[in-house]
Amino acid sequence: MARKRKAYLHIGLPRTGGAFLDSALAQHADALDAAGVCHPAISAEEMFRAAIEIRRDHRAWGYERREVEGAWAAICRRAHKGRRDVIFSQELLAACTPAQIDLLLDGLAGFEVHVVVTARDLGSQLLAAWAASVEAGRSVSFARFCKRVLDPEREHEQAQRFWAGQELGAVLERWAAAVRKPHRVHVVAVQPDAADRYDAVWSAIGAVVGFDARLLPLSGDRRAGPDAAGIAVLRNVNRAVDGRLAARTHRAVVRRYLSEGAPADATVAPALPADLYDDLLEVGERWRKQIADGGYDVHGDTGALLPAHPEPGVPLPDEVPAEERLTTATDALANVLVEVARLREHNQVLEERNAELERKKRKLKRRLAEAG
């Protein structure tokens, strides 16, 4: 009897160091194919659209339904061709409800589905999620963000969105119930002290799926978003913009002008208020127990899910010196001015070409009229 094909689905958690995976899989699609693993998504953008289609979250990301409809079905049609195992990655899928998981897995009928979950400590996740909310147009401080998200009642919309994709135990339970066998859920504990956590995650994915990640080096161009000063500046910019930019445009502009040139690890500093430590530790210990009791396939030390001890003297996320904010704002403004000048020159060239075409069009019309 023919071996049942496997489908490996990396679902996040969001901002755990796995956002690069869909791009890496697309980059190495040919090499993976030679190793017996197919990446059916044409691009990271296509997989992203499939994820927000399944999640019915397209409006929050600034997309129309018609722009995402059918994306997952198209990917699945490619997956069913051939005889190789397949792999997908999209970290927004962690937040899928049971009904959404069933819808997604319907497209993979006939495959033995394995789920890969990357996870790290809650403190790092809070920092990353707050930074992402600012990139998306919010101006909330880290202190207020934490107050909303860590409220036991979880009444605020930001709390509900955060925990939908970040409550590790619940995410694992939902997906394990869907694939029916816990050993098909692979948990990758992302180590905070890894020299390059992207390479570490890539290697772990290779170990789970069955390819040698060392032979498929990652691109050196990996951007994690604005650093602490960039986030501080952006909060003020968001207040001034006051909702005048669409979500998609806002994210694109932020990536271009506040992330450009920032190294992949230049994210918000990992310093957290000391009064959060006990709560974060409690969550981390609960997650470790849920993993140990769940029977999942674990890669890495789950001690990585525990928060780092607060370091005295390290600035908190909301405490960015004015000089750093000024430098970042000045650099960003310089980049914007250069880009505006380039676009004005490009627009002038297009206007001149258009004027020339209009002149030729009028001349041709006169000749045709004279000939008629």
Task: Enumerate the domain spans of the chain.
Answer: 6-121+138-224+274-313, 334-372
- pTM equals 0.87
Nearest one of 14, 173, 183 to 93, comparing CA atoms: 14
The beta-strand segments (E) located in the chain are 6-10, 37-38, 85-89, 112-119, 185-189, 297-299
CATH number 3.40.50 is the correct assignment for the domain at 6-121+138-224+274-313: yes
* pLDDT value of residue 370: 84
Q: What is the mean pLDDT of the chain?
A: 89
The predicted structure's pLDDT at residue 261: 45
Residue 340: what residue type?
V
Q: What percent of the chain lies above the pLDDT cut of 90?
A: 65
The mean pLDDT of 324-346, rounded to a whole number, is 90
Residue 191 confidence (pLDDT) above 90? no
Confidence of residue 155 (pLDDT cuts 50, 70, 90): very high
Amino acid 265: pLDDT: 40
13 cis-preceded (ω within 30 degrees of 0): yes
**CB pairs under 8 A, 24+ apart, for 215-218?**
215/31, 216/24, 216/28, 216/31, 216/32, 218/20, 218/24
**Cα dist. 296→115, 199, 283, 284, 308 in Å?**
10, 22, 19, 17, 25
Q: What is the mean predicted confidence (pLDDT) over 209-226?
A: 80
- pLDDT tens figures, 160-185: 999 999 999 999 999 999 999 999 99
Tokens of 238: 């968001």
